[in-house]
Amino acid sequence: MLGEVGGPAPGAPMAAVRSQGVGGPRRTMVLTSVEKIAGLQKKTSGIRNICILAHVDHGKTTLADCLISSNGIISSRLAGKLRYLDSREDEQIRGITMKSSAISLHFVKGDQEYLINLIDSPGHVDFSSEVSTAVRLCDGCIIVVDAVEGVCPQTQAVLRQAWLENIRPVLVINKIDRLIVELKLTPQEAYLHLKNILEQINAVTGALFTSKVLEERAEKETESENISDTAPGDQIYDWSAGLEDTDDSHLYFSPDHGNVVFASAIDGWGFGIEHFAKLYSQKIGIKPAVLMRTLWGDYYLNTKAKKIMKGDQSKGKKPLFVQLVLDNIWSLYEAVMKRDKEKIEKIVTSLGLKIGARESRHADPKVHLNAICSQWLPISDAVLSMVCNKLPSPLDITAERVEKLMCVGARTFDSLPPETQELKSAFMKCSSEGTAPVIVFVSKMFAVDAKALPHNKPRPLTQEEIAHRRELVKQRHAEKLAANQGKQLSEKPPSENSSEVTGSTGDTKGEDQQLTGQAEIVTSKAMKQEADNKESFIAFARVFSGVVQRGQKIFVLGPKYDPAESLHKLSSQCSATNDMPLVPHMACCTLENLYLLMGRELEDLEEVPAGNVLGIGGLQDFVLKSATLSTSPACPPFTPLNFEATPIVRVAVEPKHPSDMPQLVRGMKLLNQADPCVQVLIQETGEHVLVTAGEVHLQRCLDDLKERFAKVQISVSAPIIPFRETITRPPKVDMVNEEIGKQQKVAVIHQTKEDQNKVPEGVQVDSDGLVTISTPNKQATLSVRAVPLPEEVTRLLEENSDLIRTMDQLNTSLNEDKKTHEINQKTLDRIKEFKQKLEQNLQGRKWRNAVDQIWSFGPRKCGPNILLYNFEGYKRSVWQCLGNAVKEVSKYRDFDNSVVSGFQLATLSGPMCEEPLMGVCFTVEKWEMNKVGEMLSTSSQDSGESDAIEHKQNEDTTLTSSFTDEVCSANEHQDSSQSVPKSPEKISKPKGEALLADCYGPFSGQLIATMKEACRYALQAKPQRLMAAMYTCEIMATAEVLGRVYAVLSKREGRVLQEEMKEGTDVFIIKAVLPVAESFGFADEIRKRTSGLASPQLVFSHWEIISSDPFWVPTTEEEYLHFGEKADSENQARKYMNAVRKRKGLYVEEKIVEHAEKQRTLSKNK
């Protein structure tokens, strides 16, 4: 049976298939034994690790079914209906895949045997993190595209993910039967339609390729510029050159390259054009190689001359592909659908197929069609042979991909330690020798019922065990007989005393045994129940080098592990068994079990050589979501996975019965481990919050929590919607589009506006928004102004938050005089480029020298807000790492961190509803220190030049003064600008300290609070606005339901950006933006209103200012007339703001009507 992978053998297949029955694909006919697969795992050249990627509902799981049925794991008749790899119940109900699952298939092609590790991945945008985990483990992927819908948003996303991981794609154009049956296209129209789809896909690939070439070229340019100092006029920049020289022909999909298969997975057929090229080369007598080149393209067959000519369109001839391929498929469909018996018989006999009577008599013509097509053009043969020919084996891993995997963050490959660089050759060889270091990457952890583990499964008994059990039963039977006899004896007269005694002992023995037996049964039941309830975590991993063995000891490297630091402590040869010193981000563990992943089943393995995908048991205490395992401490952690979707939907979760809290906490820990994308946090308010990627994802996480991980009833809050606060330029026109300042003010109402913006005493606010405020002890005065940042700058800061974080770390280590590893040139270049971009965007009189005066970014030191200093006598720069570090002593330097901390606090929660700020620039225009403050800072410099950071370095330095203590407290989360020589001497209490230990607490604490207040008042002096998170929403809908789609969008504050019609179909693609706050239940509503004809894809895209002012009240005559005194028309921004304030328990100004009486009823009763 092993030979016929393509499907059951003609003639006798039905008996074999029928014996499986409908529910029987489980264990009846697994053709390839585990031993066989374990043998194939050792031949690295014959392994293919592939994943199936596509948009939602394009047929990935159905295609996977067809490939699995070729191995006899499931019946070919159930392929497409069973969806074998969707093993979760909710996946089967919803009909979408939610997690990636793997299966190993055996494929024979000629005399070559291949092992194909197939991973099926989800297409829904909420689960795109699962795609990232699958892609990392593969060397190639199958992109599936629906022949009707063509390239969809998620198709582009998965192509991009495959591109980022450097894996090679092949293409399957699926659902071609829809072109025949639904759209009723002619073969010629279908050909043009398919050509169009190919062009669209190649356009996406081309765009990715172009950007890469231009990037590389720009890098080369900068390198060559550094070397050659030519005059600027000599260099003419030519963009195109890089693209013309680089060869990109291997990237594109084209049937004549053999990397495209046309298929209909539900009908079980698929073909690459080489199949037809071989077939027709015998019939027409043209070489297969020529046919391969010409079967796709503008060629036609000149039947008289038996020649293939070019230019079919101009001569009005049929292209070869239509004439030789599509016409045949179309005529077969036509014959079967119309039940034309003679024609069908003719086709079947000419193809030499045998169709069972059951299929040909079946009421549904599709069954008959499937039987014919799956024998004539078996899809599994076409797809698997394309995979084996076109996709690389683990041996062909490219050097570029290895370097990309090994370099975390901004490190370049050359900056890694030499021992680490040597590991590259182990990667490239992918060798399974005993000496090769073991390197494994775990891309995710997934939870499995303990019942599903191989050692807990019921298994058939061996002969010895059966014999042993028979003996036990016999023994028990004999004892029972003896006990019964004893009873009978005791009833006899007492003369036979001796025998009675023996009998009674036998009896008690029997009873004892019975009791112990019962106890055993009870305990085993309890154990069994415990095992049933237990979730066991298995790591989804791939071996990149070496042989992994069961029971092997291995290092687990966390994502922040740095081989350069640990190699000083450990020798590169040390193994995980030695007693080692503690190394940060590194642990030791034993690999307890190795599993072969077979879809829903797991099989035990003893060892797994390089290049294979496997499951590893026993890592749940060591690995949270992903990790790198290695036997060599020189191995770097792999680059973190890049997730396309950002988690944005938050809900607070609590148990229905408070006593269940511990179970919920444990359940959330498990959920966090089992899902690559979910985030679990405890907020300051004590709420347990789940952050998920979208509604479907949220639903799945909650179901898992209830039913699998926590197993308690939970109540879920309404989604917590994130907002941002910002300020804008003062508007030119008011709410009724009148120019401001021209109309009559209404005194009464104007008064209320003034009341709202009341400023407490001690705070001065100028007309242009400069706020001046003093510390409570009047020792320092700050003047702060807030200005909105240009949009481009905010976007730039958001995109480069990682770079800003890196800068902050570099500055901190420079200040502490730590010898950091050489700052990488590439990082420096990126920082310089970032600075240049900022300078380009911050131009004009207002922003003069602003970039050099940046003091800090915030919140959390890397956010989209800026703090500038604009006062004399102080210099401090975030650009220190570029080499322009300023070592200066000034009166401000002890307290500058307090001001920065105050700014960080102010940006973390704004005045409107305690949400983070975004796109605001605060400028400190004046900072005056009283004499005492100055004395303080100078005295601390005199007394041994001690600083808080010094305190951290010198454990033996005792700090007595409350002043230095408080500097420490301010310094816990900041970078001090001053490096100080070490001074282990005792510090005397500084002069002036007595003056500062006042009732207001430590001075730096006062500064923090004052700075925070100053920032808040500076914000309130400007027009404040809320920013809402926005989704981009892509909806595919037919013309008749367009109106309803628009109705739902406009009701939910959505904005349509564009709509275009898909060529060759009646489907419109609508692109819109929609606030996250309005998106809950959106997908369901659209589906209901359009009877399921339109389904949206929501992806978080950006933050957008809500134009209305949350504090607006009518102030002029016109507004008063237009809106009425209370301005009853609901203000969107105010509604959002109050909702957030209510949720956080802040004061909400609302007028609540109590005891309202209807006037009308009173008058009636008179």
Pick from 182-191, 855-864, 1064-1073 the range whose average pLDDT is largest.
Answer: 182-191
Question: C-alpha 587: how far from its chain's center?
Answer: 25
What digits encode the pLDDT tens for the residues 549-603?
Answer: 999 999 998 887 878 777 767 665 566 555 566 777 888 899 989 999 988 889 9
Mean pLDDT of 858-873: 85
For residues 822 and 636, what is the distance between their CA atoms, to the nearest angstrom? Answer: 17
pLDDT at 944: 37
Res 841: pLDDT: 85
- Mean pLDDT for the chain? 79
| C-beta separation of 962 from 1002 below 8 A | yes
Res 726: pLDDT? 92
Query: In angstroms, rounded to a whole number, what is the distance separating the alpha carbons of residues 832 and 17?
Result: 67
Average pLDDT over residues 640-646: 82
Gap between the Cα atoms of 444 and 459, Å rounded: 29
Residue 214 has pLDDT above 90, yes or no: no
The predicted model gives 264-270 an average pLDDT of 93
Backbone torsions φ then ψ of 230, nearest 5 degrees:
-85, 160
pLDDT tens sequence across 1113-1157: 777 777 777 776 655 566 888 889 988 998 888 888 777 766 666
Radius of gyration of the chain (CA): 37
Q: Where does the pLDDT of residue 741 fall: very low under 50, low under 70, confident under 90, or very high at 90 and above?
A: low
**What tens digit of pLDDT does each residue of 293-329 get?**
888 888 888 777 777 888 766 677 888 899 889 999 9
CA–CA separation, 606 and 548 (whole Å) = 9
Q: Per-residue pLDDT averaged across 683-698, rounded? A: 88
User: 170: exposed, middle or buried (C-beta count within 10 Å: 0-12, 13-18, 19+)?
Assistant: buried
CA distances from 528 to 534, 604, 666, 1128 (A): 10, 21, 21, 64
Q: How far apart are CA 892 and CA 873, in angstroms?
A: 8
pLDDT at site 403: 85
Residue pair 70/7 in contact by the 8 Å Cβ criterion: yes
3-class DSSP state of 126: helix
* Residues 246-263 pLDDT 10s: 666 677 899 988 999 999
